[in-house]
């Protein structure tokens, strides 16, 4: 008789477990079994009006000038790098001070700065930064005159370089 009680007890536990599991599978019980409604299609946006075509350039205009390029010279405790730069007339050279002390790029010869032919600047020619460049500061110069132009650091005259303008 003990075995029949054990069998009934096991069947009762199994039945309770089955009811509990089936009740939990509804996740709150009051959910719809129908699939969600489809999303509405996105609203079509009107296409932007085409831009008017530009008028053709008159035949008498000269073609646009070729873009100039920029070459960069980095200044360090070791001097100018690269020390020789080759460019075309109208190109720009940018000096960037990567040293913790100031440097002053200027046309040779020290102290007159008159080797580059365009007059102006603060001492002798336009090819002159006119002050020491601090760390991270840069100075740009556009070379219009063809030739080989030597330059130096006005604050550290042993530092020298050359710009070759073709």
C-alpha torsion sign, points 113, 117, 134, 157 = negative
How far apart CA 101 and CA 152 sit, in angstroms, is: 15
- Neighbouring CB atoms inside 10 A of 153's CB total 25
Q: Which residues of the chain have pLDDT under 50?
A: 19, 24-32, 57-64
| Mean pLDDT of all residues belonging to the chain | 78
Pairing relation of β-strands 138-142 and 147-153? Answer: unpaired
* CA proximity to 156, closest of 114, 99, 115: 99
The set of residues, in sequence order, having a beta carbon less than 8 Å from that of 11 and lying 6+ positions away, is none
Q: What pLDDT score was predicted for residue 106? A: 95
pTM above 0.85, yes or no: no
Q: Domain 70-165: which topology?
A: Immunoglobulin-like (2.60.40)
The set of residues, in sequence order, having a beta carbon less than 8 Å from that of 22 and lying 6+ positions away, is none
Q: What pLDDT score was predicted for residue 151? A: 97
Q: What pLDDT score was predicted for residue 29? A: 43
H/E element, 11: helix 2-24
Q: What pLDDT score was predicted for residue 18? A: 53
Q: What pLDDT score was predicted for residue 30? A: 46
Q: What pLDDT score was predicted for residue 68? A: 74
Q: What pLDDT score was predicted for residue 127? A: 95
- Neighbouring CB atoms inside 10 A of 126's CB total 19
Q: What pLDDT score was predicted for residue 104? A: 97
């Amino acid at each position: 008789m003990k075995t029949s009680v054990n069998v009934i007890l096991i069947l009762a536990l199994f039945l309770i477990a089955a009811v509990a599991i089936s009740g939990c599978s509804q996740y709150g019980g009051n959910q719809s079994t129908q699939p969600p409604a489809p999303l509405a299609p996105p609203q079509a946006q009107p296409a932007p009006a085409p831009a008017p075509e530009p008028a053709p350039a008159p035949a008498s205009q000269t073609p646009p000038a070729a873009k100039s390029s920029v070459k960069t010279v980095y200044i360090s405790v070791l001097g100018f790098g690269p020390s020789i730069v080759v460019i075309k007339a109208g190109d720009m050279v940018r000096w960037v001070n990567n040293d913790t002390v100031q440097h002053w790029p200027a046309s040779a010869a020290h102290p007159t700065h008159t080797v580059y032919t365009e007059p102006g600047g603060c001492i002798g020619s336009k090819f002159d930064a006119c002050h020491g460049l601090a760390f991270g500061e840069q100075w740009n110069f556009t070379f219009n005159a063809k030739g080989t132009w030597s330059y130096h650091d006005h604050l550290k005259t042993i530092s020298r370089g050359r710009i070759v303008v073709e």
